[in-house]
With several copies, the nearest count.
Chain A
Amino acid sequence: MAEIVSLQSAIRAHVHDGDAVAMEGFTHLIPFAAGHEVIRQRRKDLTLIRMTPDVIYDQLIGAGCARKLIFSWGGNPGVGSLHRLRDAVEKDWPQPLEIEEHGHGDLSNAYVSGASNLPFAVLRAYAGSELPKHNKNIRFIECPFTGETLAAVPSIRPDVAVIHAQKADRKGNVLLWGILGVQKEAVLAAKRAIVTVEEIVDNLNAPPNACVLPSWTLAAVCHVPGGARPSYAHGYYDRDNRFYQAWDEISRDRQTFLSWIKKHILATEDFSAFQKVLRESAKEQLV
């Protein structure tokens, strides 16, 4: 059964230095509040797993929390580069970042086989691509029936999965809807899972066959309204595209980035304090 606890204690209890952490959410429901709390608690040497690193991992990488990144597309959606990711890969700042890259189909299959407790996934891809040359975790196998050659990748089994969802009930059962990405698979593939939610209700009133994660599949559920900002939560708030654009400026320069992290994350107590400071910065046109 999931404990319903503060995000602070959930991160303290379940995310440790050196863990393999998957924070998922395909542009929708990205668990930014949880990402910030990991920075606040100054976690180190994490292996970060995520199909689209997005601004959330750009922040974690720039803040020096990551040793390795497993991903399939590392850009700022609709804007351009992730400058902190690039700086780490191109110039080892703030520290070298080992990268293991895949394709989206590959990683999403690897989450599925992880959730299925299989050691590997099979897919039709990579013939002719140079990715297998640089990623020893992309191999090829033969079909025992047809003899066809297919690509194989190892399952993803994170130590911790972190997602954001719309609702939980008081027992800790979680409901999400809209664009689901690989969140369910990430949770079921992980040893432990943390879910931040927009609201906690008496009854989920889930439609038939909705995406529900039973409380007993989760380690912790945290009530963090707005916890996916600047990404969006379907039915609650829109994506803050302005922030994604502003991030390009904030993250381009190391000092600007460091002072932003210091002021907005390290100097704030929690996500609601962060949001307050961010709103002030916005007024001051700094964002």
Chain B
Amino acid sequence: MSAANYNTTEMMIIAASRLLTNGAVCFVGIGLPSTAANLARLTHAPDIVLIYESGPIGAKPEVLPLSIGDGDLAERADTVVSTPEIFRYWLQGGRVDVGFLGAAQIDRFANINTTVIGDYKKPTTRLPGAGGAPEIASCAKAVVLVLKQSARAFVKKLDFLTSVGHLDGGDSRKKLGLPGAGPVAVVTDLCIMKPHEVSRELTVTQLHPGVTREQVQKATGWEIRFAEIVQESVPPTENELKVLRDLLHRTALAHGQAPAA
């Protein structure tokens, strides 16, 4: 049965978690991706394999990590290897089914910017930078992007192209000769978008309950396309919501209890 009260962030995380099939090997970043991936592991995908760039393979954290290298990730992993090995043997090696990424800016072809707002040499805002995104975008068999939707984030032109999605659309990514297929879905707090099979332009295929096309357009910096058939997302089930909220609650407690230096 579906839940009565939930917020749009919960809907976004739950929608993202549903995209992960059981047994999938998932390269997980911190934040929303890690939350969605662990929710999947605790609900419909118990055998999902979570890989964190710091080294854990098959991580099963009790609570969500605050940092990419929390000890809890190592404690319950199948094994912990070095960071170079993660990127060489496991990601580039072609063993990652889904790479999960966030972004500060995204364009209509799901290229992303995590580097700067403004000019590179004299940025108005210096963002954290690439992290593992360029390699994940290149080598993961598929990429799923998760971020809140707003006209500031979904822009006509990126200030900086940090990690490639479908480049200029069409077969332009294919021509780059990268091993991975690139972004297959963008999950936001309003909807799910997928690249059009020919143009590779992001197309809304699913609206979250109660969200209108106008809301999506207002939160997008270009004229957003909608699929011929746009489905409505299944609202969060009681169980999904309970597991997610328990997880976030456990996490808050655990990190609150962290000892002061």
Contacts and interface: CB of A to CB of B under 8 A. Distances in A.
Q: In the complex, is A directly touching B at CB under 8 Å? A: yes
Interface string B60-88: 00000111111101100011111110111
A215 B51 CA distance: 15
12 contacts: A1-B23, A27-B67, A27-B69, A51-B83, A73-B132, A108-B82, A109-B84, A127-B164, A148-B177, A185-B84, A232-B71, A279-B260
Interface stretch (A3-11, A37-45, A175-183, A248-256): A175-183
Interface in A161-200: 173, 178-182, 184-185, 188
A178 B88 contact: no
Interface residues of B, number: 69
B66 A180 contact: no
A134 B113 CA distance: 14
A241 B69 CA distance: 12
Interface string A248-287: 0000000000000000000000000001001100100001
Contact of B128 (A75, A126, A208): A75
Give the interface centre of A82, A118, A123 by most chain B CB atoms within 10 Å. Answer: A123
Contact of B126 (A90, A105, A106, A234): A90
B88 A237 contact: no
Contact of A106 (B65, B66, B71, B135): B135
A72 B87 contact: no
Interface of A: 1, 26-28, 51-52, 71-75, 77-78, 81-82, 85-86, 89-90, 101-106, 108-109, 111-112, 115-118, 123-131, 134, 148-149, 173, 178-182, 184-185, 188, 206, 208-212, 214, 216-217, 226, 229-230, 232, 234, 237-244, 275, 278-279, 282, 287
Q: Is the interface of B mostly helix, strand, loop or mixed?
A: loop
A112 B84 contact: yes
Given A112-B84, A123-B92, 15 more contacts: A26-B68, A28-B69, A78-B30, A78-B65, A90-B123, A103-B131, A106-B135, A116-B93, A117-B139, A127-B176, A129-B134, A181-B69, A185-B89, A239-B258, A242-B258
Contacts of B134: 103, 105-106, 125-126, 129, 131
